[in-house]
Amino acid sequence: MRSNTPLQQESIAWHCADLLREGRYSDVIQLLQPGVVGAETRQSLTAIHDILTEREPVSVKVIDAQKFRGKGDVEIRNIVLDYEFPSTVKKTSSDKELLPAKWVFVTFSIRSTENSITGIHAVTSEQSIEAINAFTFKNKGVSQYTAFAAGILLNAFAIYAITLCVTAKIGPKKWLWILSMLFTFILVSVNWTTGDWSFDTVSFGFKLPPLPANLVCSAYGPWNLKLGLPIAAIVFVLYRKKLERTASAPAAGVGGC
């Protein structure tokens, strides 16, 4: 997380968060991009202040620092602070009320060129980010199960293909085939938390062992199941018998008199 978070934008997010908790709304507004300040800005800041000051957090940390392009191809960096609030007992006029533990994720969208804030958003959760993005089969849907089944089939096929290649009688060429099977075209990425499938990027992966389906995860982000197409393995399985016949055929002799 530290290596992916620019220090300047992170310090702006921390400073703005401290100002919010102290109720210094005018100072926060000075950090905002002029175009985003409106009639309801102070009301929105007050609502975030109330969420962050209901009780004292036991921990605060950066859990995301994504970069994307905004309007006019301007670089925007989203710094997300994670506030963990413990369960506590709140006294009421007639009784006591148990407030369960909660987490608040505050996103600061920072324009990199001027280091001005273009937006502040807070989301409250009953679970930590680690629990939300944990790899589990609980409460998963058809999307996740389909992706997982596809991953098992792809990996099983890749292992089957490389086993055939190792035992195939095609001479030294088998090592070129085995090497080519280590490369995979990654076509699909499945977000394990949300079940969303992404087909918008095609990448090239090199894996040892040659498994076309892999799970990857960022620091606090969701697990992503990458599904690739083992092209070399498919081609080898289709043409294995032909390759073996070619390798076993006697070499053409040179005639003489």
Task: Please write the tens of the pLDDT for every residue from 49-99.
Answer: 999 998 999 999 999 998 888 777 788 999 999 999 999 887 777 778 888
Residues 29 and 98 placed together within one structural domain of the fold? yes
Lowest-confidence region among 48-62, 127-141, 190-204: 190-204
Residues 121 and 226 placed together within one structural domain of the fold? no
Q: Which domain holds residue 195?
A: 142-247
Amino acid at 130: E
26 three-class SS: helix
40 burial (CB, 10 Å; 0-12 / 13-18 / 19+) is exposed
CATH value at residue 19:
3.10.450.590
Contact (CB, 8 A) for 64 and 53 = no
Lowest-confidence region among 29-38, 46-55, 93-102, 189-198: 93-102
Residues 110 and 165 placed together within one structural domain of the fold? no
Residue 107 within any structural domain of the chain:
yes
Number of domains in the chain: 2
Residues 13 and 114 placed together within one structural domain of the fold? yes
- Report the DSSP beta bridge partners of residue 98: 89
Q: What's the confidence (pLDDT) of residue 146?
A: 96
Residues 168 and 107 placed together within one structural domain of the fold? no
Of 103, 132, 161, the residue at which a domain comes to its end is 132
Q: How far is CA 7 from CA 13, 77, 217, in A?
A: 10, 12, 23
Q: Give the pLDDT mean for 96-116.
A: 90
Residues 229 and 157 placed together within one structural domain of the fold? yes
Residues 105 and 216 placed together within one structural domain of the fold? no
Q: Give the whole-angstrom CA distance, residue 26 versus residue 10.
A: 20
Lowest-confidence region among 13-17, 35-39, 60-64, 249-253: 249-253
Q: Give the whole-angstrom CA distance, residue 54 versus residue 21.
A: 10
Residue 180 within any structural domain of the chain:
yes
The 10 Å CB-count burial string (b at 16+, else e) for 68-93 is eeeeeeeebbbbbbbbebeeeeeeee
Confidence of residue 114 (pLDDT cuts 50, 70, 90): confident
Residues 97 and 146 placed together within one structural domain of the fold? no
Q: Give the pLDDT mean for 127-143.
A: 94
Contact (CB, 8 A) for 158 and 235 = no
Residue 24 within any structural domain of the chain:
yes
Residue 211 within any structural domain of the chain:
yes
Residue 190 within any structural domain of the chain:
yes
Of 114, 132, 150, the residue at which a domain comes to its end is 132
Q: Give the whole-angstrom CA distance, residue 24 versus residue 95.
A: 33
Residue 137 within any structural domain of the chain:
no
Residues 126 and 16 placed together within one structural domain of the fold? yes
- Report the DSSP beta bridge partners of residue 206: 183
Residue 214 within any structural domain of the chain:
yes
Q: Give the pLDDT mean for 15-22.
A: 96
Residues 110 and 82 placed together within one structural domain of the fold? yes
Confidence of residue 257 (pLDDT cuts 50, 70, 90): very low
Q: Give the whole-angstrom CA distance, residue 124 versus residue 106.
A: 9
Of 104, 132, 160, the residue at which a domain comes to its end is 132
201 burial (CB, 10 Å; 0-12 / 13-18 / 19+) is exposed
Residues 162 and 243 placed together within one structural domain of the fold? yes
What sign does the dihedral 78-191-123-86 (CA atoms) show? Answer: negative
Asked if residue 243 has pLDDT above 90, the reply is no
141 three-class SS: coil
Residue 256 within any structural domain of the chain:
no
Residues 112 and 188 placed together within one structural domain of the fold? no
Contact (CB, 8 A) for 228 and 206 = no
229 three-class SS: strand
Contact (CB, 8 A) for 190 and 227 = yes
Q: Measure the N-to-C terminal CA separation of the chain; round to a whole number of Å.
A: 78
How crowded is residue 189: how many other Cβ atoms within 10 Å of its Cβ? 18
Diameter over CA atoms, the chain = 117
Tokens of 17: 């968060």
